[in-house]
Amino acid sequence: MKIPEKLKSEKIRYIKILQGKKRPSENNWQTTQNYSYKEIKEYLKNADTYGVLCGEKSNNLAVIDCDKKELASAILMGLPSTFTVQTGSQGFHFYYFIQDLDKKIVLQTDKEHFGEVQFTKAQVIGANSKHPNGNIYKVVHDNKIATITSSELTEVVKPFRKIKKVKYSTNKGFDLDIAEVAKLIPGLDATTEGLQGANPQHGSSNGNNFCVNLEKGTWYCHRHQTGGDALYLVALVENLVKCKDILPGYFKSNPKVFKQTLKIAREKYGYDIPIKKDIVELFTGEKSNKLNVQGIVEYILENYTFVTIRDETSKKPHIYIYRDGYYRLNGDMEIEKIIKELFDNVPWKSFYRNEIMEYIKTENIVDRDAIHPPSHLINVNNGIYNLKTYNLEPHNSKYYFLYKIPIDYTPQATMPRIMQYFESTLRPEYVDLSQEVFGYCLYFS
């Protein structure tokens, strides 16, 4: 009896099996009584069954021991092809190296058992061995053993496991509407259970590992079994925190990320967060008689993004504020509003405004010539359309867009009336060209 080529490896350990049974013939097979390929080859001269050790000792080999068709087809569709064996009892063994798996997984729901993912301290009967019922463990896919990650695995086997109770990560006292955030995530489909699609941060192998419940104001990732409210969704979409790390209390222990998230929520997702007056000192000095210009400006810049644009034609620089995905010219007015709100308990002097405005105008000054956004990017209502990748990307304040086309990019949109007009007016060969001409009008160069 021979071990198939694809299962021969210096990195894999093999086990002696009680002949005519499925269990190891020696104690301590998990630790010491396991063998290299050379050693087991000798043994197999006089035996027709051997085991393959899973887990760390075999280079993190995991074998999905699959008893049911539904599970087998989910693996075939969702994971890369790999070395696959039909077992003596007509199930399947799918072999994978998974470096970041930590333990065996039982694939079982309340109703049904589907199999196991064998890992540390487990073994499976090897290919070409004989089952106690006389059947041979046959190689059905003679591929080399594929390497996958544990999250790829857990996403695919998710429907075959007991559902854990999710602890949603939420924030008290913030009422950002999750629909405002979700509408900027491309490719989500409306279903009866809410919006569904691929996780906006790490994608999905089956295209469906992420959902948003608009009624409850929560979202959920099946791959990482994490979920949260609208503010955590902003942090997820904006890549401020890894999906797997979004656990209850994350913002509390990471106040910097929390601040960044609030700022972006305000700038891009239309969230009107009230200003916290107690966190900035308006006056300093021994007798609290000096206006704390620097402190106030720092506070404003921490919470809002501005740019001061200078150009040759006008002597006066203009302040632009970043809101809803682009820089708006009314920066001066916005700042005045913010300043007045900060001072609403203090008798007002226009001197305060002038001092602060002058200071802000010296921060982040750019020349108009230096701020052209790349010409392959088009700023639209729900993101930035990239003409090189043909993808919609999130709005980003690093590009100095001074405009936004107030229309959503919708890949599946059609234009029946325009097509009707083209087709009734133009010769057929000019229809495509005419569409392209209009398309080029969006091209900013």
Edge-to-edge strands of the sheet including 189-191? 189-191, 194-197, 210-213, 218-221, 226-228
Q: Rounded to the nearest whole angstrom, what is the least distance from the CB of residue 109 to Zn ion in the complex? A: 21
Residue 245 or 344: the one with the smaller Cβ distance to Zn ion is 245
Q: Rounded to the nearest whole angstrom, what is the least distance from the CB of residue 142 to Zn ion in the complex? A: 34
Q: Which stretch binds Zn ion (CB under 5 A): 17-25, 239-247, 349-357, 370-378?
A: 239-247
- Contacts with Zn ion by CB under 5 A: the residue count is 5
The answer to whether residue 222 forms part of the interface with Zn ion (CB under 5 A) is no
Residue 55 or 228: the one with the smaller Cβ distance to Zn ion is 228
Q: For residues 373 and 399, is the Cβ–Cβ distance under 8 A?
A: yes
Residue 223 or 361: the one with the smaller Cβ distance to Zn ion is 223
Phi and psi torsions of 73, nearest 5°: -70, -30
Phi and psi torsions of 286, nearest 5°: -55, -40
Structure tokens at 327: 């820089």
Q: How many CA atoms lie within 13 A of 40 on its CB side?
A: 27
Which helix (H) or strand (E) segment holds residue 51: the answer is strand 50-53
Burial 15-28 (b: 16+ CB within 10 A, else e): bbbeeeebebeeee
Residue 151 or 379: the one with the smaller Cβ distance to Zn ion is 151
Whole-angstrom distance, CA of residue 415 vs CA of residue 34: 67
Q: Which own/partner contact pairs does 386-392 have at CB distance under 8 Å and 24+ positions apart?
A: 387/443, 392/186
Residue 231 or 243: the one with the smaller Cβ distance to Zn ion is 243
Residue 13 or 223: the one with the smaller Cβ distance to Zn ion is 223
Whole-angstrom distance, CA of residue 373 vs CA of residue 31: 61
Q: Which stretch binds Zn ion (CB under 5 A): 30-38, 238-246, 256-264, 367-375?
A: 238-246
Q: For residues 127 and 68, is the Cβ–Cβ distance under 8 A?
A: no
Show the binding pattern over residues 242-281: x = contacts Zn ion (CB under 5 A), - = does not: -x--------------------------------------
- Number of helical H runs and strand E runs in the chain: 12, 24
Residue 72 or 105: the one with the smaller Cβ distance to Zn ion is 105
Query: Strand, coil or helix: what is 68?
Result: coil
Q: Rounded to the nearest whole angstrom, what is the least distance from the CB of residue 315 to Zn ion in the complex? A: 52
The answer to whether residue 15 forms part of the interface with Zn ion (CB under 5 A) is no
Q: Rounded to the nearest whole angstrom, what is the least distance from the CB of residue 44 to Zn ion in the complex? A: 44
Structure tokens at 225: 């079994």
SS3 content of the chain, % helix, strand, coil (to 5): 30, 25, 45
Residue 176 or 246: the one with the smaller Cβ distance to Zn ion is 246
Q: For residues 280 and 303, is the Cβ–Cβ distance under 8 A?
A: no
Q: Rounded to the nearest whole angstrom, what is the least distance from the CB of residue 153 to Zn ion in the complex? A: 14
Residue 16 or 223: the one with the smaller Cβ distance to Zn ion is 223
- Binders of Zn ion in range 95-124 (CB under 5 A): none
Show the binding pattern over residues 164-203: x = contacts Zn ion (CB under 5 A), - = does not: -----------------------------------x----
The answer to whether residue 224 forms part of the interface with Zn ion (CB under 5 A) is yes
- Binders of Zn ion in range 202-221 (CB under 5 A): 221
The interaxial angle of helices 150-157 and 69-78, nearest 10 deg, is 140
Q: Rounded to the nearest whole angstrom, what is the least distance from the CB of residue 43 to Zn ion in the complex? A: 45
Q: Rounded to the nearest whole angstrom, what is the least distance from the CB of residue 199 to Zn ion in the complex? A: 5
Find residue 125's DSSP bridge partners.
51
Q: Which stretch binds Zn ion (CB under 5 A): 120-128, 154-162, 235-243, 308-316?
A: 235-243
The answer to whether residue 223 forms part of the interface with Zn ion (CB under 5 A) is yes
Q: Rounded to the nearest whole angstrom, what is the least distance from the CB of residue 256 to Zn ion in the complex? A: 22
Whole-angstrom distance, CA of residue 71 vs CA of residue 319: 59
Show the binding pattern over residues 31-60: x = contacts Zn ion (CB under 5 A), - = does not: ------------------------------
Helices (H), 158-292: 178-182, 230-237, 250-253, 255-268
Residue 205 or 303: the one with the smaller Cβ distance to Zn ion is 205
Show the binding pattern over residues 314-353: x = contacts Zn ion (CB under 5 A), - = does not: ----------------------------------------
Q: Rounded to the nearest whole angstrom, what is the least distance from the CB of residue 268 to Zn ion in the complex? A: 21
Chain residues binding Zn ion by CB under 5 A are 199, 221, 223-224, 243
